[in-house]
């Protein structure tokens, strides 16, 4: 009887720990609306500024090419709309709406990544926790994805395992997981089972297999475009908005 009692206590503790992980994941996942495109994204907070990290094709419709009188082109970016679910007793009670500016962008056929900056200060206090960049989660590692499914269900959680690493699609390398993949989850985060951010879902590879940009590739791109501070928790560079969006 004592063994059964201890076992039940441990099971209860594990269940509570998982619930805490899921709660943290839900609190850092937002719904992102581009022009005619709905997707998912994660929040990174530096001081009172909220950055939204997602994939490029979710915001691609916000990009406008303007032909000038001399024939040259000017690129203009419309604002994205971001919805943050507010949870009460585990249920969504309302959504807080904000707008965000695209500050870095790489299209679908390249990195397929985007970084946005919320116009509102203190939009959220919740920030993702990044995985140890020196270690690559291997085949069979348990993962969690979060995002909107079929453009209806905000921030649904799916679990699975990493099914493959460094799969080439075009010129880019992706990791794969057997988590649920549907319209609306593009840009959604991938976490370890303990809640550390390891990637961004971008597309479907096969039936019930999602492809995601692994953190090692995200890190390389962010450093290249002057946004490595997001992963390191450092101060925002003064010239952040002076660097070209793409």
pLDDT at 174 > cutoff 70: yes
Among residues 211, 44, 69, 68, the alpha carbon closest in space to that of 130 is found at 44
Query: So what CATH class is 129-219?
Result: mainly beta
C-alpha span between 28 and 51 (Å, rounded): 11
Cα Rg of the chain, angstroms: 19
Mean pLDDT score, 58-83: 91
pLDDT at 105 > cutoff 60: yes
Question: Residue 128 has what DSSP assignment?
Answer: -
Of the listed ranges 10-14, 209-213, 236-240, the least confidently predicted one is 10-14
pLDDT at 45 > cutoff 60: yes
The predicted pLDDT at position 13 comes to 36
Give 135 or 39, the one with higher predicted confidence: 39
Topology of the domain covering 28-128:
Thrombin, subunit H (2.40.10)
By residue count, the chain amounts to: 246
pLDDT at 157 > cutoff 70: yes
What are the start and end residues of each CATH 2.40.10.10 domain in the chain?
28-128, 129-219
Q: 130-169 burial string, b = 16+ CB within 10 Å, else e?
A: bbeeeebbeeebebbbbbbbeeeebbbbbbbbbbeeeeee
Per-residue pLDDT band at 7 (split at 50, 70, 90): very low
C-alpha span between 165 and 148 (Å, rounded): 24
């Amino acid at each position: 009887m004592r063994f059964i009692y201890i076992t039940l206590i441990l099971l209860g503790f594990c269940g509570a720990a998982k619930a805490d992980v899921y709660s943290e994941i839900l609190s850092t996942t937002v719904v992102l609306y581009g022009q005619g495109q709905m997707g998912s994204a994660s929040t990174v907070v530096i001081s009172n500024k909220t950055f939204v990290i997602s994939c490029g094709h979710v915001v691609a419709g916000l990009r406008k090419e303007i032909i000038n009188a001399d024939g040259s082109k000017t690129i203009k970016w419309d604002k994205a709309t971001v919805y943050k679910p507010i949870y009460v007793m585990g249920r969504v009670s309302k959504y807080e709406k904000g707008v965000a500016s695209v500050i870095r962008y790489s299209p679908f056929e390249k990195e397929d990544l985007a970084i946005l900056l919320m116009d509102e200060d203190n939009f959220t206090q919740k920030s993702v926790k990044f995985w140890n960049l020196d270690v690559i989660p291997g085949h069979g590692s348990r993962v969690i994805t979060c995002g909107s499914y079929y453009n209806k269900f905000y921030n649904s959680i799916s679990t699975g395992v990493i099914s493959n690493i460094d799969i080439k699609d075009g010129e880019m390398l992706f990791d794969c997981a057997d988590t649920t993949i549907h319209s609306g989850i593009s840009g959604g985060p991938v976490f370890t089972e303990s809640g550390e951010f390891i990637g961004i879902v971008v597309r479907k590879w096969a039936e019930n297999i999602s492809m995601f940009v692994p953190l090692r590739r995200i890190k390389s791109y962010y450093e290249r475009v002057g946004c490595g501070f997001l992963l390191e928790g450092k101060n925002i560079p003064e010239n952040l908005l002076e660097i070209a969006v793409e």
